[in-house]
Amino acid sequence: MGILDDVVINAKSAAEAVGKKAGQIMDVSKLRINAAELNSEISKRYQALGQYVYESCREQLAGDGEVVGKMAEIDELAAQYAAVSKELGDKQNKVTCPGCGRQCSSSEAYCGTCGAKLGE
């Protein structure tokens, strides 16, 4: 029975080692997911801050040629985005809410999110 006992003890040790390693891998995975979520939230906050500064400081920054060029690029991309969004909405029989920007069915009279009147 000595050999059988050794096999059982070795199997238990191996199972414990595998369980410990799996726990470590789970901990690392959870930390990586948490780090990615935090990084995503930071990026969203930077974007929101940048948009706020862009909208509120346009006139003050009008004297800086480089800034004016970058604002013109953003304006052009925004115009392209609006055109593509409108075309997509037309093909899907949807309208964009003037209040919140949500895509609503063209048969709706009011936005279900903010309550703004839809249509012409």
The radius of gyration of the chain's CA atoms, rounded to the nearest angstrom, is: 28
Amino acid at 12: K
Q: How many domains are there within the chain?
A: 1
Q: Does residue 111 lie within any of the structural domains?
A: no
Q: Give the chain's largest Cα–Cα span.
A: 90
pLDDT at 24 (0 to 100): 82
Q: Is residue 109 part of a domain?
A: no
Average pLDDT along the chain = 86
Torsion angle in degrees (nearest 10) through CA of 93, 91, 98, 54: 160
- pLDDT band at residue 57, thresholds of 50, 70 and 90? confident
The model's pTM: 0.50
pLDDT value, residue 118: 87
**Residue 96: pLDDT over 90:** no
Range of the domain at 46: 2-92
Residues contacting residue 115 through CB under 8 Å, at least 6 positions apart = 99
> CB-based contacts of 114: which residues, under 8 Å, 6+ apart?
97, 99, 100, 102
Q: What are all long-range contacts of 102-107, with beta carbons under 8 Å and residues at least 24 apart?
A: none
pLDDT on residue 120: 57
Q: Give the contacts of 100 (CB within 8 A, at least 6 positions apart).
A: 111, 113, 114, 116
The confidence band for 1, taking pLDDT boundaries of 50, 70 and 90, is low
